[in-house]
Structure formats: C-alpha cells, structure tokens
Amino acid sequence: MSSLDEAEYPQRILDYMEGFLISKTLFASCELGVFDFLLASQRPLSAAEVAEGLGTSRDGTERLLSACVGLQLLTAHRSHADGGTVLYSNTEMARMYLTKCSPRSLYHSILYSSSTLYLCWNYLTDAVREGRNQHERAFGVSSGDLFGAVYRSDEEMLSFMQLMNSIWNICGEDVVMAFDLSPFKTIYDLGGCSGALARRCLTAYPGCCVTIFDLPKVVRMSREHFISQEDEGISFFEGDFFRDPLPEADLYILARILHDWTDSRSLELLTKVYQRCKTGGGVLLVEALLHEDNSGPLTAQLYSLNMLVQTEGRERKTSEYAALLTAAGFAHIQVRRTGKIYDAILATK
C-alpha cells in the first residue's frame, strides 16, 4: 500500500492496533482444544459438534471457528448431505504446529504466551517508563531473583520448559548445524532446560557427549518430563552457573541465556566460561540478533521488548556480542544467520 493510500485508509495501523485480537483467537483455540479435537475426530465437524465435544456455547464456538478459518488455521465447506451445514477441519499448518501430538507442535509455546507473556505485556508502558521487568505487577512476585520469579511454581516452571522444548524442536537443528561442531567432544549446555537442544546436538553429532548444566529443580523436572533413558549421551550437572564452578569442557552452549542478563552479568558468565574452556575449545551463543542499523528484524526487536518486561536483559547486535566475547578473552568470532528466529555465534579460545 502506498503512502497516499495509507493516508486515505490506514490499514497497516488498523492491523497493528488489532493484532492482539488475532493472538487471543489463537490462544483461546489452543486453550479450548479446538485443533486436537478436530484431529481426533478424523472427519470434518460442525460447530455444534465441536461445541458439544468441548463443552462450549454453540454461538461462541461458531464465531471462534469462523475466525480460525479467516486466519487460515481451519478450512470450512458446506456439507451436501446435511442440509448445507458448515463443517470444519484443520489446515496442514494447524495440524503440524497447533496439535499437541505433532513433533513440531508450538502448542505449549502458545499456552505460555497466553498465560504468562500476555500478562507481562499488559504492563509494557510501565516497563518502558521504569526500565525494569514487570513480574511484581503481573504476578505479585519479587524479581530480585530473576529465575525465582520465572520459576515461581512447579507448574510455571514446567510451562516455561515446555515453551523452550517446542522452540528448539523447530529451531534447534538450524543453530547446532550452523557450524561444524563435530571437533568438540565434551559439550556443556548451560541452562539447558528441557534438553531439547542437547538432543538436537546429539542427533547432529553422535560422537559427542552433552551435559545439561542447570538448577537442581530444573534438572529434576527435566528428568521427570523430558529426558528418558533412551536419550543416551545426555547427562546432567546440577548448579547455578553464576555461583558454582563450571566443569572443564570443549564447548559451552549458551542458548537464549545472555539475552536474560545485563552486559556486566553476561561478561561475568563468559569470563567464567573462558577460564574453564579447554584450549582450542569454544562457546556457541544462540540468540536473536539485531541488525547493526536498528532496522530489524522485527521479531528480534519485539523480543527485546519482551526481555524488558520479563528479564534484566535485552536482544543485542552482533557487534555487542562480539565485544562481550572479546572482553572475556575469546577470539576468532564467527557469525551465522539462519534466516529463522535464532542465529549462532561461535567463538574459540
């Protein structure tokens, strides 16, 4: 749309203004189980059948399903055998990314966005005004201990870990294969959470061993819900990477870690990594990289706002990560953009 057209009818502004309507339509559909119910039925269903199966109102369900058709998450067609009743079924995109059983499901990411991120973003104005996260306003918990706030209950911790698990199921392969990591045999995934990235690493490089270094309560949850005995090559190390000594390794992975923290805390952690890293070893950073001229990508710009409302950190430019790595002692810094959400930076000692 040209600037002249936009002066007459501001479609882009209207789209931005009403963007939350789309998000909440997606959130509600997943929370109610629309896509899983349609998948389980193995045939197209009417709004009345979906409403009966989900225990929802027929009118509300029909409106929700219609909106999902508009969003290209569902398809609709009239049944010739049933008086022209409109029947609904999942699109391939919904089946792949919105149903729980799909290996590429984003279902849990969507639930976390709805129950946690959406509430934090309600206080974005306050976050910008004050320059700090909004856990206290959103959830009534102190953010003095950042991950004490993020992991404020077992339920919330599991929800966060499911979010991370689903993200690496769709992005993990790209970042672990951005560089040839096969020379690194001993790998520590700091803040490895659910182990999804560790699993991707082992699939790509079966000759390595990956240890997930995380808080004791996270390790417990990971063992209970995510890592099984079949995941050979994955082990655990319980600790706090700021407070506890780091074991020696060939490679340390920091995936979506540094963006949680200030520059000073990030440098503190990278310095610890450098001191324990074997000569010839390195560190792999996985983050959403901003362009040097502040022009984008939009996803990374929005994620940086999310870091404001949720954490102490920010998304950064390549030059900013390079400066931190250099200050910590690392050299030979390489960058690979994946074309997706997360990019990779490899620095060696």
User: CA–CA separation, 210 vs 236, rounded Å?
Assistant: 9
Q: Which CATH architecture has domain 171-348?
A: 3-Layer(aba) Sandwich (3.40)
pLDDT at 252: 98
Say how far apart CA 149 and CA 132 lie, in whole Å. 14
Nearest to 321 by CA among 277, 272, 266, 239: 266
Tell me, what's the pLDDT at 1?
59
pLDDT tens by residue, 243-284: 999 999 999 999 999 999 999 999 999 999 999 999 999 999
Residue-by-residue DSSP string for 25-40: HHHHHHHHTHHHHHHH
Name the class of domain 3-97: mainly alpha
**CA separation, residue 10 to residues 5, 6, 21, 86, 242 (Å):** 8, 5, 18, 33, 49
How many Å apart are CA 38 and CA 50, to the nearest integer?
8
Helix axes 19-32, 58-70, angle to 10 degrees: 120
User: Could you tell me the two tokens for 29?
Assistant: 């559909």
- Closest by alpha carbon to 38, among 21, 51, 26, 20? 51
Residue where the block lists tokens 């030059």: 319
Residues 153-173 as b/e (b if ≥16 CB within 10 A, e otherwise) read: eeebbbbbbbbbbbbbbbbbb
pLDDT tens digits for range 115-141: 999 999 999 999 999 999 999 999 998
Specify the pLDDT at position 146.
Answer: 85
Among the listed residues 77, 80, 259, 291, the single catalytic one is 259
Q: Is 108 annotated in the active site?
A: no
- What is the model's pLDDT at position 6? 67
Q: Residue 140 — left, alpha, or beta (φ > 0 → left; ψ -120 to 50 → alpha)?
A: left
How far is residue 114 CA from its own chain's centroid?
13
Distance of alpha carbon 111 from alpha carbon 42, whole angstroms? 24
Computed over every residue of the chain, the mean pLDDT equals 94
Q: Are strands 249-255 and 186-190 parallel, antiparallel or unpaired?
A: parallel
Q: Where are the domains of the chain?
A: 3-97, 171-348
**Quick check: 182 and 159 in contact, CB under 8 A?**
no
- Ordered mean pLDDT values, 10 residues apiece, the chain (349 residues): 71 95 98 98 96 98 98 92 87 98 95 95 97 94 85 92 92 96 97 95 95 96 89 93 97 98 98 97 98 96 97 97 98 95 97
